[in-house]
Structure 1
Amino acid sequence: MKTRKKALLVAAESSYGVSPLISTATLMTVSELDSSPYEGDRVERTRLREQFGAQAEVNVAPFATVTATVPLAGSGAAGTAPNFGLLLRACGLAETVSVGTSVAYQPATDDHESFTVWFVEDGQLQQVPGCRGTVELSLTAKEMPTMQFTLTGLYQRPVVHAGPLAQTLTNIVDEIPVNKGNTTEFTVHGHAGCGQSLSINLGNTVGHRHLIGCENVQITDRVATGSVEVEAPDLATKNYFQALESHETVTLGAIGLTHGTTVGNIVQLAAPKTQLSTISRSDSDGIVHYALDLRLIPDVGDDELTITFK
């Protein structure tokens, strides 16, 4: 099999773990795609005998994982969800559509949707129902913005895939590089200096449960974190040391980033209450940069991060 001949399809499930027809699935744009097709908890089947030697091992709770790096871009039309919105929903993000204007995603604690994904690899296909997962967003200057999804679902054995796929790409446009011309806003605790990077990890705890009469994948917790790298300002302009000190009081501040200038391909990230937890220095072209770790704190609940496509 050839490693570059891969595809990923996704469809929402109306009942948990019950896959719709692959013909109803949406084809994703992916730049990297991999899977662990047969994971699980293994126990040794112990037998006493007169000779030394290994014992057989049994997978008592098989499941599968799929990891996909997806370009961060819009759908091409304001108010239309990008096709990877299905993956964001699989990570426990609730979708809110404002017709003709925007589509926003925020974390949800309850009522998580489930999805089936199809991992296609040069003549083979693994259907993975009951998927839920987590995501990490990454935007770095002079690079392309990405999202890395890690999805966990129920195991099914791969089968022969005759192909080719009937689906074509819809509701997605090409991503654009992160730079001054394309990334129009980047503020960290009120300071809009020179920014190098922003990454946000949604931090879902995703667990596979395989019990008597029950098997599913659940999101059971969420601790969103991240990091930023900015050119170090002078203390009179912005004192990041004061902002991150927590031994007397905790300071929370907003982080905002807008990427894209064309309607239909504008992405906004907003984290209204972030804590700066650590700081380190680095050199970039002879200029001091600060790398700051983040913790995204909810305000009234399920609002520590908003991803909006316009």
Structure 2
Amino acid sequence: MAKSTKKTLLLAKIQTAAGTDASPTAAANAILLRNVTATPLSAEYVERALIRPYMGNSGQIPTTKYAQIEGEVELAGSGAAGTAPAWGPLLRACGFAETVTASTDVTYAPISGNFELLTLHYYLDGLFHKIVDARGTVSFDITAKGIPFMRFRFMGAYSPITDQSNPTGADYSAFMKPLGVNKTNTPTWSLDSYTGCLQALTFDVANQIEWRSYISCEGAEITNRQPTGNLVLQLPSITDLNWPSLVLTAAEKALSITHGTTAGNIVTVNLPKTQLTNPSYSDDNNLAMLNLDLNINPGQGNDEIEIVLT
């Protein structure tokens, strides 16, 4: 019987110990996502390289196995200031620390060690995939006339895929309805002191995820991060924004954007030390646009990205 990709369910929960299934449930840990891409079994192989008196393949032996999954989650708050969002566990498993100040805000900032682990239960119309010890990376897209979103990619330990009915009672009520990106819903942004017409901000945390496989030891490791991004804005005058000077002097400037206007659903992204590179022009319905690549650099360390929910 054919399987339907519409009947997809993902559950996610932070683990308390390595190698231990956190046992997420549909009622408490369902993830509202879109554009899912699953690689249920990834493997690395070694050639046998046999020498025989005839030509042909010698065959390969699998030496490692793991699972991967990607998907997008809409960027919105939790509905209450000082309450962590439902997507918080995903960001934590991408190398971010979560700091909750009750009734005030929730802040996410990158870390460089002691990365948390995530259990993922992925159901595809009666096929059950269990992924434990997962870690990942994430990118952000805030583009005018669109829905802001995060795209996550996780890697974790493979478990045998089994036939198992999708659990019922998935509760997505903790995911707030997102707001479209526009002048009203995205009230402020700035690059240093400049606040002209912005079309898009995208950036990638760009964690380097490696599947470590040794004797008596294997798992997904975050071995580095090199965040980059891109700005697309209406081409300004040099008086308003001297971008050639910023590019040529390798100046590091603060970049910030706030999306949302109602307490509990306001998300602010701060990139305190952003270096502009690779400028180019583009066209948007006969309007000249400026494209700038971004290197998102740390200051004192673990401070290159700050995501604040208020």
Normalising by the smaller structure, the TM-score range is over 0.9
1:85-142 per-residue CA deviation (whole Å, 9 max, x = no partner) reads 1000000000000101111100000111001111111111100001001000001100
Distance in 2 between residues matched to 1:37 and 1:58, nearest whole Å: 19
- Shift of residue 186 of structure 1? 1.4
TM-score, length-scaled by structure 2: 0.96
Residue 59 of structure 2 is matched in structure 1 by 56
Moved more, 91-100 or 22-31: 22-31
- Shift of residue 285 of structure 1? 2.2
Give the aligned residue type for 1:204.
Answer: N
Residue 38 of structure 1 is matched in structure 2 by 41
Residue 268 of structure 1 is matched in structure 2 by 268
Residue 143 of structure 1 is matched in structure 2 by 146
CA contact (8 A) 1:75 1:81 kept: yes
Task: Establish whether residue 111 from structure 1 lines up as the match of residue 111 from structure 2.
Answer: no
1:69 paired residue among 52, 57, 72: 72
1:19-75 per-residue CA deviation (whole Å, 9 max, x = no partner) reads 122338611110111211111221122333333322222220111111011111111
Distance in 1 between residues matched to 2:215 and 2:241, nearest whole Å: 57
- Shift of residue 191 of structure 1? 0.7
1:148-193 per-residue CA deviation (whole Å, 9 max, x = no partner) reads 0010101112111223334312422011110111001111232100
Q: 3-state DSSP class of the match of 2:91?
A: helix
The Cα RMSD (Å) is: 1.3
Q: 3-state DSSP class of the match of 1:40?
A: strand
2:229 paired residue among 226, 231, 246: 226
Alignment of 1:149-228 (within 5 A): 149-228=152-231
Distance in 1 between residues matched to 2:19 and 2:35, nearest whole Å: 25
Distance in 2 between residues matched to 1:166 and 1:31, nearest whole Å: 19
Distance in 2 between residues matched to 1:228 and 1:103, nearest whole Å: 26
Task: Establish whether residue 92 from structure 1 lines up as the match of residue 95 from structure 2.
Answer: yes
Give the aligned residue type for 2:31.
Answer: M
* Aligned sequence identity (%): 34
Alignment of 1:279-294 (within 5 A): 279-294=279-294
Distance in 2 between residues matched to 1:58 and 1:265, nearest whole Å: 51
Distance in 2 between residues matched to 1:134 and 1:236, nearest whole Å: 38
Moved more, 14-23 or 110-119: 14-23
Distance in 1 between residues matched to 2:132 and 2:45, nearest whole Å: 21
Q: 3-state DSSP class of the match of 1:87?
A: helix
Distance in 1 between residues matched to 2:193 and 2:241, nearest whole Å: 9
Give the aligned residue type for 2:32.
Answer: T
2:20 paired residue among 18, 21, 24: 18
Moved more, 138-147 or 53-62: 53-62
Q: 3-state DSSP class of the match of 1:183?
A: coil
Give the aligned residue type for 2:6.
Answer: R
Distance in 1 between residues matched to 2:206 and 2:12, nearest whole Å: 21
Distance in 2 between residues matched to 1:168 and 1:308, nearest whole Å: 25
Ranges of 4+ aligned residues in structure 1 off by more than 4 Å: none
Distance in 2 between residues matched to 1:230 and 1:106, nearest whole Å: 26
Cα distance, 1:180–1:123 mapped onto 2, change above 3 Å: same
Unaligned runs of 5+ in 1: none
Residue 4 of structure 1 is matched in structure 2 by 6
Residue 79 of structure 1 is matched in structure 2 by 82
Task: Establish whether residue 128 from structure 1 lines up as the match of residue 134 from structure 2.
Answer: no
Q: Aligned residue pairs: how many?
A: 307
Give the aligned residue type for 2:187.
Answer: T
TM-score, length-scaled by structure 1: 0.96
Give the aligned residue type for 2:267.
Answer: V
- Shift of residue 265 of structure 1? 1.0
Residue 297 of structure 1 is matched in structure 2 by 297
- Shift of residue 283 of structure 1? 1.0
Moved more, 291-300 or 155-164: 155-164
Give the aligned residue type for 2:86.
Answer: N
Q: 3-state DSSP class of the match of 2:187?
A: strand
